[in-house]
Every structure is written in C-alpha cells, then in structure tokens.
C-alpha cells in the first residue's frame, strides 16, 4: 500500500514536470530545490491528507475564481464504497462538504434507506463521498473537459488511496469523466463497469431524480444502489 502510494505521488510530481526528486537524507538537494517529499503515510486517512495538501489553495483551473471552499470529500477513509458526483453546488461550496444540499439529502436518504431495506446497518458516514471537480462550476453548469482532466488526477489518487470494493458514480457527466466513455447514463446505469481494477456502478444523479421528469428513474436508482451495497457489504 505504502509503495503504491509513493509510486502514485511520484507519478503526480512527474506529471507536474518535476523530473528529479530527492529523498530526505539521501544526499544534498541542489540549491533552490523544493523540499523533498515527506515519507508516505501508511493509512488511507494519511494518504487523503497528503492529497488534500497537494491540492492546496488550488488555482490550476478557472473554477477557483468563483469558489468559496474547496470541497475535497467526506466520509470513511477506509470505506468499501465510494460515491463520485459531478461537482459542488451552492450549498456544498458554502459548507465545504459534498452533497449537503437538496440532492445530497436525497442521496443520504437513499444510502440509509436502501441499506436498511436489505438488512444492513450502513449509513452515510460509513461510505466516502466526493466529486470529479472540487470547486463549484459557476451557475451550476457542467464541469468542462479540461477542468475534469485537471481535477481528475486528484480524484484518481483519492479513490486509489481508499481502495474501495466499488465506486458508485452519479450521473452521466461523472460517469463519462471517470470511465472515459461517451455512453449516456440511461444506457450505462445498472451495468457494472471497471476502472483501475475497481468495479464501478453508474447510476442516475440524485438531482435528476428530483426533477419533474426524473420520477421514473427512482426505482432503477434504488436497484443500482441495492446492487452496489450488496456487492460491497454482503457478498
Ligand atoms: N451535486 C454533485 O454532483 N455534487 C455535490 O456535491 C452536490 C451536488
């Protein structure tokens, strides 16, 4: 686990253009070089803290211009199940927490309620919840491809640090970003996919379920959640 985390962090630095990295105690760094990376933490919570530190006060894309808070993610760092949404809305931006607005409250009820229906004691704090982009897109527009590419590197590290049994990806935009697919969510939902060796269940976004035309999608979303909770906690 620690070796994987170190490899991912080194890849991340390489992507940023740093070719030579120096290990503390492994020889003098050239004048003007950045401080060498800290030793990697062994546990997921520690890895998540490192990733959050790497994000810092991010200005890598235009979304930083309008944000109040970076919404990193919340929940159990050792979760067997990770939910991935699209990006923070107004409430999330204000509070710095994912899925706390109307759609978030529905997501919480869906997790808790579905779990209860299948005889599980899993509740929202037991899973981990995050988004493809960590800053609110202005006016709640969809995140753009370049914004998702830039922020997606952190999502990847975040999910691999947690190493869940499965990911439930919410809505077409997030599903397409994670799976690099152009298939719409209506066709994709309910069918297991794979990403980085982890099973992925795409389903409808809770805000879609709240729209007047989205009522019909509630039952399939419940079925998808049932499948993913069963796989993670009962199989
Ligand atoms: N919609 C999302 O995709 N993510 C949130 O955190 C809230 C609403």
**Tokens linked to 156:** 């990847």
CA–CA dist 74, 78 (Å, integer): 11
Domains contained in the chain, CATH given: 2-40 (no CATH), 60-233 (3.40.470.10)
CB of 85 shorter than 6 A to ligand 1: yes
pLDDT one-digit tens code per residue, 211-235: 999 999 999 999 999 999 999 999 8
CB of 97 shorter than 6 A to ligand 1: no
Q: How far apart are the first and last CA of the chain?
A: 24
Q: What is the pLDDT of residue 4?
A: 72
CB of 92 shorter than 6 A to ligand 1: yes
CB of 86 shorter than 6 A to ligand 1: yes
Q: Is 194 helix (H, G, I), strand (E, B) or coil?
A: strand
Closest atom, ligand 1, to C-alpha of 97: 6
CA–CA dist 41, 47 (Å, integer): 6
**Tokens linked to 2:** 């620690």
CB of 88 shorter than 6 A to ligand 1: yes
Contact criterion met (CB below 8 Å) for 39 and 47: no
Q: What is the pLDDT of residue 6?
A: 74
Which residue puts its alpha carbon closest to atom 7 of ligand 1? 99
Nearest residue to 174 (alpha-carbon basis) of 139, 137, 211: 137
pLDDT one-digit tens code per residue, 198-216: 999 999 999 999 999 999 9
pLDDT one-digit tens code per residue, 25-37: 444 445 555 665 6
Cα–ligand 1 centroid distance for 54 (angstroms): 22
| CB count in 10 Å sphere of residue 26 | 9
The side-by-side arrangement of strands in the sheet containing 166-170 is 74-75, 128-131, 81-85, 166-170, 198-203, 193-195
pLDDT one-digit tens code per residue, 97-148: 999 999 999 999 999 999 999 999 999 999 999 999 999 999 999 999 999 9
**Tokens linked to 110:** 């869906």
CB of 103 shorter than 6 A to ligand 1: yes
pTM of the model: 0.87
Q: Residue 45's beta-bridge partner residues?
A: none
Cα–ligand 1 centroid distance for 36 (angstroms): 35
Closest atom, ligand 1, to C-alpha of 71: 6
Q: How far is CA 109 from CA 90, 97, 98, 205, in A?
A: 20, 17, 15, 14
């Amino acid at each position: 686990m620690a070796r994987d985390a170190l490899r991912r962090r080194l890849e991340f630095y390489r992507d940023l253009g740093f070719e030579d990295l120096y290990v503390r105690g492994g020889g003098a760094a050239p004048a003007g070089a950045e401080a060498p990376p800290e030793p990697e933490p062994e546990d997921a919570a520690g890895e998540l803290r490192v990733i959050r530190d790497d994000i810092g006060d991010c200005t890598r894309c235009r979304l930083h211009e309008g944000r109040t808070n970076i919404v990193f993610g919340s929940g159990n760092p050792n979760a067997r199940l990770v939910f991935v949404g699209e990006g923070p809305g107004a409430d999330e931006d204000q509070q710095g927490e994912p899925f706390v607005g109307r759609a978030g409250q529905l997501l919480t009820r869906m997790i808790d309620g579905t779990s209860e229906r299948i005889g599980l004691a899993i509740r929202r704090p037991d899973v981990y919840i995050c988004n493809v982009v960590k800053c609110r897109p202005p006016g709640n527009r969809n995140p753009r491809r370049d914004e998702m590419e830039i922020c997606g590197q952190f999502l990847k590290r975040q999910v691999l640090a947690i190493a869940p049994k499965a990911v439930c990806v919410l809505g077409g935009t997030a599903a397409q970003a994670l799976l690099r697919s152009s298939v719409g969510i209506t066709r994709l939902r309910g069918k297991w996919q794979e990403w980085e060796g982890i099973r992925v269940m795409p389903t409808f976004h809770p805000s879609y379920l709240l729209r007047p035309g989205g009522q019909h999608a509630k039952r399939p979303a419940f079925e998808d959640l049932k499948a993913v909770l069963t796989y993670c906690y009962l199989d």
